[in-house]
Structure 1
Amino acid sequence: MKIALAQLQSESGNIKANMAKHLDFITKAAKDKADFIVFPELSLTNYEPNLAKDLAFDENDGRLEIFKDYSAKYKIAIGLGLPLKMGNQIHIAMVIFKPKSNIQYYFKQYLHEDEVPFFSA
């Protein structure tokens, strides 16, 4: 298995621009025959705890569909970092897309002390 680790500079709160950067990295990783590409924590919003509540994605957020499409198109698994709202809680999450599979979610289990006011484990 070939794994690509993406290191990119996300723009603070600019989800549209960050999504475009992610799609570019996914395309490049697929061309290099990667099987899985993993992005940093909160990469779709940048690491902005103070803004996380306003920037949080829903579990069924339509903006994530493009990543499902890219996963299928390029036959690559994708792990994206974002704040995810579940019920009344915001989590530091990784959303995992795999070709021909349902979307999976992983939540950060151990929060740093300065993350506790903004996120749930």
Structure 2
Amino acid sequence: MSQQPHVTLRTTQALPALPDAMTTLTIAAAQTTSIAGDIQANIARHLRFMQTAADHGVQFLVFPELSLTGYERTLARALAIRPDDAVLHPLREFAQHSGMIAVVGIPVRADNGAGVYIGALVLQTNGEIGTYTKQHLHPGEEAAFVPGRGGQAVNVAGHQAALAICAEITQPDHARMAAQAGAGIYAAGMLLTEAGHAPETGLLAGYAADHGMAVLMANHGGATGGWEAVGRSAIWAEGGRAVVAAPGPGNVLVKATREAGRWSGQVVPVPGALPAA
């Protein structure tokens, strides 16, 4: 797929205050395509995204659902890992050395050996890895996965970021409880097709408006697991105003910066992250 040009959108409306509203906060969605079942190749692609994000001052980077394997339900059990698996070392090391928190998607083995979770692993700047597991499964996912336990909010430069994975955003209580717990950012790793894009991004914009949270949506940039993801990853400001969105599929970084209480956004091509032929 061809790379998209830089696109910059700027808001003109002052936004509700978050803690330390005068400080700069930069968050981003990594809209990436995944190579089915090839964790090493996907790690290499993730590192390109992380480098581009670091070059643009991103503090918090979120990848799509199951980004490191693709949305490959039939392969999930074979590909599932523990959060401390050595395969994650290059990503873990980059996050630590760059000072950027990254959230990557991968099947995670349950501690009791009872099944596999859809996981989002939080690569912290101190070298630690946090684990979030999908609580609300999409119909059909129970054939490969078991419901997860959620996870803790992520501290991003003094702002609390609550995580969500795909179908969880269709549960209004999920976002409401995150806001009640003090989250100022709601960040979702997704797999959205054309049919689901409009209704589900409508929900996300509504959560931004209703709960006063900035909302980030990282979608796959192309086909995965038999589903045709449409990209169009996006970020909304507190109050529901759209800050920036990718115009379509492809490998791009969708970033937004909040400075002096206002958001600006940009879609950035990622060099070397084109899909495999």
- Measured against the shorter chain, the TM-score band is over 0.9
The equivalent of 1:94 in structure 2 is 120
The equivalent of 2:52 in structure 1 is 28
Q: 111, 115, 129: which is aligned to 1:103?
A: 129
- Which protein is richer in strand relative to its size? 2
Q: Secondary structure at the match of 2:116?
A: strand
Identity of aligned residues (%): 36
The equivalent of 2:32 in structure 1 is 8
Partners of 1:112 and 1:16 in 2: CA distance: 27
The amino acid across from 2:103 in the alignment is G
Deviation at 1:101, TM superposition (A): 5.1
Deviation at 1:31, TM superposition (A): 0.2
Tell me if the contact between 2:108 and 2:117 (Cα under 8 Å) persists in the aligned partners.
yes
Structure 1 residue 44 and structure 2 residue 89: aligned? Answer: no
Q: Secondary structure at the match of 1:91?
A: strand
Tell me if the contact between 2:84 and 2:129 (Cα under 8 Å) persists in the aligned partners.
no
Partners of 1:102 and 1:58 in 2: CA distance: 13
TM-score by length of 2: 0.43
Which of these two proteins has the greater Rg computed from alpha carbons?
Answer: 2
Runs of 4+ in structure 1 over 3 Å off: none
Q: Secondary structure at the match of 1:99?
A: coil
Unaligned ranges ≥5, structure 2: 1-24, 148-277
Unaligned ranges ≥5, structure 1: none
- What is the total number of aligned residue pairs between the two structures? 121
Q: 67, 89, 100: which is aligned to 1:76?
A: 100
Partners of 2:127 and 2:97 in 1: CA distance: 13
